[in-house]
Amino acid sequence: MTMYEARIQSARAVAYRALCLGAILKRGELEIQFQSPPDDVQPADPRRYLKSKLHDLNDQLLQWVEDEHLLPHLIDSERKLLQKPLGTWRERTITALSWRVESLGVMLWALRYLDAIPAFDTQFEPDDVLGPLDVLTPSIDFIWRANLRPARSLLMMRDRAEAWNWRSRASELEHLGIQPPDGFTFREIIHVTAEKARAKGNVPYLIDGDFPAFDVPFCELNSDQYAVVSNIAYERYSALSWLCELTAEWESIRIDR
């Protein structure tokens, strides 16, 4: 076993983690539909019927989790969320967990179900990441076909996500008024780090000596753009940090946002 292999989760563990994330994201979809039914519901399909249908789907989801033996692979917080009555998730919870699409995308890329990971200013499409899982259907083929990319590719992608997460964190510290070490400015630190990131291939190019996002330097992102990039970086780095550390527990990962 090489040094790289010793630091990578097994393909089977990654496949089960992907299925658990799929279950959480599917429940999130049901929560959104239950709490905010569409306005164009037809008279023949009243909201009462729609909510009853969603309850049935949630029951199917819970049964699927049990039938596919996912319970041992769920972390405590995921298990508790799935056990909550449909319609009781808080809006903040739904929003936070919707970003798990990025973590799931990383898992599916690592398992070779997706060809590439989008740029860090571009989100994975939910349909693209939920499609390969085919939630509510037997998962045996997905588990047995699990095959990871080479360890070197996974570690390189983790380093890339770490660089973007660092850049997001640097902006947060700057906005909070945290002072950099004596003799340095945030601009200088960011410029030096950005140059190193470009040299390592963690960013494709620089704009005004900074990471590029939405066709502008990172420092010029508006609040909405910053929220997108920072959440993408955090979720992908979290997923890759778990994936590349054999002893890491998903729930115990602590990464600065």
Residue 108 DSSP SS3: helix
d(CA 75, CA 118): 27
- Decide: 161 and 237 in contact? Cβ < 8 Å: yes
- Decide: 198 and 205 in contact? Cβ < 8 Å: yes
How confident is the model at residue 44, as a pLDDT? 54
Q: Taking the chain (257 residues) in consecutive chunks of 10 residues, what is each chunk's mean pLDDT? A: 63 96 96 79 63 93 96 94 95 94 97 96 94 94 95 95 96 86 85 96 96 97 97 96 78 52
Cα 131 to the center of its chain, rounded Å: 16
Within 10 A of 121 (CB to CB), how many other CB atoms are there? 19
How confident is the model at residue 246, as a pLDDT? 58
Domain ranges of the chain: 5-144, 151-252
How confident is the model at residue 41, as a pLDDT? 56
How confident is the model at residue 48, as a pLDDT? 72
DSSP 127-196: HHHHTTT-TTS--HHHHHT--PPPHHHHHHHHHHHHHHHHHHHHHHHHHTTPPPSTT--HHHHHHHHHHH
Nearest to 88 by CA among 135, 19, 136, 28: 28
Helices (H) and strands (E) counted in the chain, each on its own, are 10, 2
- Decide: 155 and 6 in contact? Cβ < 8 Å: no
What sign has the CA pseudo-torsion 217, 181, 201, 151? Answer: negative
- For the record, the structure tokens of 94 come out as 């739904």
